[in-house]
Structure 1
Amino acid sequence: MNSTPSATRDRPEHPKHPELPERRVPVWDLPTRLFHWLTVVLVAAAYVTQRMNWMQMHVRLGETLLALVLFRILWGCFGSETARFSRFVASPRKAIEHLRHVLRREPDVQVGHNAAGGWMVLLLLALLLVETLTGLYDNNDIADEGPLSEIVPAKIANAIAGLHAWGWDVLAAAVVLHVCAIAVYALVKGHNLIGPMLSGRKRLPASVRAPARASLWLAALLMGLSGVVVALLSAYI
């Protein structure tokens, strides 16, 4: 009996075929890319303003960041195909299976987030949401707003402040992990994850279908709605 079946099973999941034509496929829409890079800038600015004790600016940055996070959650439900949670959130089993091959060098044929990257997106969004929401309450005395500060028991207020401080440390660790993962994919697997997030396009086999995109008007509407929600939260919390 020959060993052909065994050899077939041992092949990489996505074998490289140099003879197959490629084309630049639009994979990331403008709202998703703007959210990504604005979040990078705002998180860095929030860290600097906190260290410099520029708390008024720190609060404004936090509110803007919360509006962006709320927008991304809405965009994950109603936005473009690669931005939707239903499109990129895989089962934990698939994420673990993907990580088993993280050190295997192979061509990048992934249209959007991979199975493990999808869970990282959820983790970062959850941490950003917790950090910005607790920050609204923790810093409400700076803006002389927030009726809840007068009725919430001191123990709960202290717990919220502690969660805000603890959440920042966890968020920083998650960001470091995210950056390290990007470096591993670049150096070990040969996958450029930053380029497509800048240009929106990625070189993929010509047979790959371009993902559907939602309207920029819808993005503007959802961003406006997110801003209104944050304004109301800021006034009440």
Structure 2
Amino acid sequence: MRERVAPAEIRARLWDAPVRIVHWALVLLIGFSWGAAEFDQMLLHRISGYVILGLLVFRILWGFWGSRTALFASFVKGPGRTLAYLKTLPNRSPTDVPGHNPLGAWSVLAILGVLAFQVTTGLFAVDIDAFEAGPLSDRVSFETGRQIAELHEASFTVLQVLVVLHVAAVLFYLVWKRSNLIGPMVTGRRRFAADPGLTFAPWWRVLATAVVAAAFAWFVSKGLRL
């Protein structure tokens, strides 16, 4: 027997492939980078860091000229709108927002910001024996490189807290708001009361952005030297 769907409900495209690929790639690489550092596999740690750098550059650029739901201008709201949204959280009704809600938007920016700080400090960091160092560590003194390395480690703790809060928020929406946020980030589609009329960037723009991001990450990995 076929499942009956309310006539007013429509399953529309929400997230494009670039956003979903970057999201899940960062999930995997953050864990991989942590594991590589814990097991003293610093070559793998550095390579993973360069890939994360490329993904971050891609996501930032995509936030300015990507698909509508990827644009920072479309989901980042001011304090007033964010506070108004916070007041709706006790309501169990699912939020019919096409994309990130105002609170989730600030969570995204926080995670991207801390990740950018993590990668940047890693580029200048030096270990205690000066045996392992980032590709830009020769731009700073040994003492400064060691201080940056400590910031690199400390910021990972901040990142861990943000990730835990992010997972908790996803579970809150799943259990309390009865809204599955994971499914759309896998399939790219979600049910809406009406067609949200979202627009998506062409593939040539995806490829062009990927080339720029990859070239930038490669250039940085070479110590900004050709």
Which residue identity lines up with residue 236 of structure 1 in the other structure? Answer: G
The alignment's C-alpha RMSD in Å is: 2.0
> Which residue pairs with 1:101 in the alignment?
88
> Which residue pairs with 1:31 in the alignment?
18
> Which residue pairs with 1:163 in the alignment?
151
Asked if the contact 1:25–1:204 (Cα under 8 Å) also holds between the matched residues in 2, the reply is yes
Note the residue ranges of structure 1 that are not aligned, 5 or more in a row.
Answer: 1-17
Deviation, 1:20, is 5.9
> Which residue pairs with 2:192 in the alignment?
204
Asked if the contact 1:20–1:205 (Cα under 8 Å) also holds between the matched residues in 2, the reply is no
Q: Count residues in correspondence.
A: 218
- The aligned runs of 1:182-193 (5 Å cut-off) are 182-193=170-181
Please give the secondary structure, in 2, of the residue aligned with 1:212. Answer: coil
Please give the secondary structure, in 1, of the residue aligned with 2:191. Answer: strand
Asked if the contact 1:76–1:83 (Cα under 8 Å) also holds between the matched residues in 2, the reply is yes
Moved over 4 A (4+): 139-145
Distance 1:61 1:142, change over 3 A: farther
- Aligned pair 1:172/2:160, yes or no? yes
Please give the secondary structure, in 2, of the residue aligned with 1:164. Answer: helix
**What are the Cα deviations for residues 26-64 of structure 1, in whole angstroms up to 9, with x where unaligned?**
010000000101110101111111111111101100100
- The aligned runs of 1:88-167 (5 Å cut-off) are 88-138=75-125, 146=135, 148-167=136-155
TM-score of the superposed pair, with normalisation by structure 1: 0.86
> Which residue pairs with 1:62 in the alignment?
49
> Which residue pairs with 1:75 in the alignment?
62
Cα separation, 2, equivalents of 1:139 and 1:83 = 35
Match 2:9 to one of 14, 22, 30: 22
Please give the secondary structure, in 1, of the residue aligned with 2:43. Answer: helix
Please give the secondary structure, in 1, of the residue aligned with 2:90. Answer: coil
Distance 1:28 1:150, change over 3 A: closer
**What are the Cα deviations for residues 135-176 of structure 1, in whole angstroms up to 9, with x where unaligned?**
122269667773x53451334222211110111000010000
Asked if the contact 1:124–1:171 (Cα under 8 Å) also holds between the matched residues in 2, the reply is yes
Which residue identity lines up with residue 65 of structure 1 in the other structure? Answer: I
Cα separation, 1, equivalents of 2:138 and 2:52 = 25
Cα separation, 2, equivalents of 1:209 and 1:151 = 49
Asked if the contact 2:122–2:134 (Cα under 8 Å) also holds between the matched residues in 1, the reply is no
Structure with max Cα Rg: 1
Cα separation, 1, equivalents of 2:77 and 2:138 = 43
Note the residue ranges of structure 2 that are not aligned, 5 or more in a row.
Answer: none
Distance 1:19 1:231, change over 3 A: closer
Q: Pick which of 39-48 and 148-157 moved more.
A: 148-157
Please give the secondary structure, in 2, of the residue aligned with 1:236. Answer: coil
TM-score of the superposed pair, with normalisation by structure 2: 0.90
Distance 1:67 1:150, change over 3 A: closer
